[in-house]
Amino acid sequence: MRNTSIVGGDFINNCIVIKLDNYDTEISVINRKMRKINIIDNFEIEIGIKHLISLEAKKEFIKIITSKLNDYKHLKEIFFSVQNEDVIIREYPEIKRVKKRDLDGYINFEIVKDMPFNIEHYVIKYKILNLQKNIMDIQLILFPKYIEKICTEIAQNLNIKRKYLNMNFDIIQKLIDKKKIDLGHENCMIIENKRNYIILNSVKQRKIYTSTVFEKYGNEDYILSFLEKDIHIFYYGKEDSFIKNIKENEFCVDKLNLNLKVNSLNKEDTVDNIINQNLINIGVVV
């Protein structure tokens, strides 16, 4: 893989986690000790990637984040989670099996070269989802360099050298692999339900094969057409009219069942709700 910035977080004590969305940014300061996660601080900025249309807007955004995190500049690790419609995720099922040493070349010269956009604008990574004797399933991810640059500049302004970049669906996959999410089904769908968008993850044999971002406004009927009534649908995030609409259309849908130990300084909210609303940020450090 060309990109080595997307990593797990197995040895984290104290860190900053920033979840960048199109229209807002969620920031958590998290401590992990003895397998228990403590949320030290948690806040939201109503500025997101879509607002950063000029150099001045980006500078102001970074200035606001730096100011908010001024008390935590001594921390040595910062984790970013990002996934919007500019992150391209493609599934290539049942292609001819290629030797591991030849896989980078195969991806670059047999798959990527025919894509109808400028590959130089993306960081390329891939996963082998299923490996059989003669065939394999590959997942290709193209991550926009402009988002990676924003994350790098935030870390530089905080003077934090150890920075890591994750995608939302990668974090959910890690939680599945570590049995922190109890699916009870080999095949299902998992929805991240936020205020303005959803991420629809299609799971086959406990692996996320596709992960698609949809803007919610005016698109609910279109999104419903992608859901399947013969498999289970799980969700996390907001409880809103969109989830109510899915239930009313007789889909088999339940809130995601999570096995996480979390403490929060916010005594005005329940632990279950804190986990539900901040699953991606928490999942980074699991």
- pLDDT tens-place string over residues 34-50: 778 889 998 899 999 99
Which residue do the tokens 């936020």 mark?
194
Q: Give the tens place of pLDDT for each residue, 81-97.
A: 999 999 999 898 888 89
Tokens read off for 166:
């994750």
> Could you tell me which residues come within 8 angstroms of residue 14 by beta carbon, excluding any fewer than 6 positions away?
29, 30, 31, 40, 75, 77
Between residues 5 and 238, the one the model is more confident about: 238
**What is the per-residue pLDDT for 267?**
60
Residue 12 has pLDDT above 80, yes or no: no
How is the chain split into domains, by residue range?
A: 14-83+146-171, 88-143, 182-257
Lowest mean pLDDT among 100-109, 132-141, 160-169: 100-109
Rounded CA-CA distance 279/286 in Å is: 10
- Cα angle 252, 226, 124 (rounded to 5 degrees) comes to 120
**What is the per-residue pLDDT for 4?**
32
CA 206 centroid distance within chain: 17
**What is the per-residue pLDDT for 108?**
82
Q: Cβ distance 8 to 152 under 8 Å?
A: no
Rg (CA), the chain: 19
Tokens read off for 252:
């088999």
**What is the per-residue pLDDT for 272?**
78
CATH code for 88-143? 3.30.1490.300
Q: Which fold has domain 182-257?
A: Nucleotidyltransferase; domain 5 (3.30.420)
Mean pLDDT of the chain: 87
Tokens read off for 215:
């803007």
Same fold, 14-83+146-171 and 182-257: yes
CATH code for 14-83+146-171? 3.30.420.40
